[in-house]
C-alpha cells in the first residue's frame, strides 16, 4: 500500500499545476488517468458502481464549489474564485490508495480561503487521532470540533472508509461523533480519512447524474483525504511521495503536524 500510495501522490503532484482558470475538467481527468497508467496502475474510480445506477465514467471526481464529491469531469472550464476538489484512487498490484485535495482557483473569497484552511487542518487533526487503542470517534470528534469551532459544518451523509485490497472496506470513518464510532483502532488497519466540510448546512442531495453530491443550500464545500495506516508507533500516512514528503505540504506550502 505504500507503493500504491506513493504512485498516487506522484500523480497528484505532477498534475497540481493544471488547477488554473480556463482548465477543462475533462482534460484534467485524462491527464490523471495517463499518469496513473504510466505507473502500471489502474484508475480505481473508472467503472466503479458502488450501488449507483450507472458506473462512474471517469478516473477522477472533480467537484466545484457546492459540489462536495463525485463530480463528473466534463467540458466545463474552471474559473477564478472557485474551490475545486479532486478525488482520485488507484490500484497497483492488488492494493488500493485513495486521496483528495481541494484547490483554490485564482483569487477566492475570504470565506472560501478560510474553509480551505480549516478543512486541511481538520484532516491532520483527524490523522493525529488514528492511533492504536483509540476509537473511530476520536478521529471524527477531532475533525468535528475544529470545523464547528470555526463556524462550518461537517457533511453527515458521506464518510471515510477502510481500504486495502478493495477501494471501500469496513470500517466507516465518519468525520463526526456517532453511535457507531466506538470501533477500536488496531495496528494493521488501513483507513481513508477524508473531511468533507460545508460553509453552510451539512445536508446534501445527489444530482440527476446519480453521482454528484452537492450541499442542499448551495454553500461551497471543501475536501481533503489521505490513506493512513494504524501502527504501533502512531499513524502512518501511506499516500506520501517516494521521498517521504507529504504531497499536500509540497503543493500548499503548509506544514502539518500529526503528532498529537
The distance from CA 206 to its chain's CA centroid, rounded to whole angstroms, is 18
Structure-block grid coordinates of residue 184: 477500536
The distance from CA 29 to its chain's CA centroid, rounded to whole angstroms, is 16
- pLDDT per residue, tens digit, the chain (260 aa), is 999 999 999 999 999 999 999 999 999 999 999 999 999 999 999 999 987 889 999 999 999 999 999 999 999 999 999 999 999 999 999 999 999 999 999 999 999 999 999 999 999 999 999 999 999 999 999 999 999 999 999 999 999 999 999 999 999 999 999 988 899 999 999 999 999 999 999 999 999 999 999 999 999 999 999 999 999 999 999 999 999 999 999 998 888 877 76
* C-alpha dihedral, 244 to 246 to 250 to 252, nearest 10°: -170
253 phi, psi to nearest 5 deg: 75, 5
Alpha carbon separation from 65 to 47, 74, 156, 230, 239 (Å, rounded): 25, 15, 18, 32, 25
Domains in the chain (CATH in brackets) are 2-252 (3.90.230.10)
Amino acid at each position: 500500500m505504500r507503493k500504491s500510495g506513493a504512485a498516487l501522490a506522484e500523480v497528484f503532484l505532477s498534475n497540481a499545476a493544471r488547477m488554473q482558470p480556463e482548465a477543462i475538467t475533462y482534460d484534467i481527468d485524462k491527464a490523471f488517468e495517463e499518469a496513473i497508467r504510466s505507473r502500471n496502475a489502474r484508475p480505481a474510480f473508472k467503472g466503479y458502481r458502488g450501488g449507483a445506477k450507472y458506473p462512474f465514467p471517469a478516473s477522477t471526481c472533480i467537484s466545484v464549489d457546492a459540489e462536495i464529491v463525485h463530480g463528473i469531469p466534463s467540458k466545463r472550464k474552471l474559473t477564478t474564485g472557485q474551490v475545486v476538489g479532486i478525488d482520485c484512487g488507484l490500484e497497483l498490484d492488488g492494493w488500493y490508495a485513495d486521496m483528495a485535495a481541494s484547490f483554490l482557483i485564482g483569487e477566492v473569497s475570504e470565506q472560501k480561503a478560510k474553509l480551505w484552511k480549516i478543512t486541511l487542518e481538520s484532516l491532520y487533526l483527524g490523522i493525529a487521532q488514528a492511533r492504536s487503542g483509540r476509537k473511530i470517534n476520536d478521529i471524527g470528534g477531532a475533525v468535528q470540533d475544529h470545523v464547528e469551532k470555526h463556524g462550518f459544518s461537517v457533511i453527515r451523509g458521506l464518510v471515510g472508509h477502510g481500504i486495502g485490497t478493495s477501494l471501500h472496506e469496513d470500517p466507516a470513518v465518519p468525520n463526526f461523533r456517532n453511535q457507531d464510532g466506538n470501533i477500536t483502532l488496531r495496528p494493521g488497519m488501513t483507513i481513508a480519512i477524508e473531511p468533507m466540510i460545508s460553509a453552510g448546512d451539512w445536508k446534501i442531495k445527489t444530482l440527476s447524474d446519480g453521482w454528484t453530491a452537492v450541499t442542499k443550500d448551495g454553500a461551497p464545500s471543501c475536501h481533503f483525504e489521505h490513506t493512513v495506516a494504524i501502527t504501533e508507533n502512531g499513524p502512518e500516512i501511506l499516500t506520501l511521495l517516494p521521498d517521504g514528503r507529504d504531497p499536500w505540504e509540497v503543493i500548499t506550502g503548509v506544514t502539518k503536524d500529526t503528532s498529537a
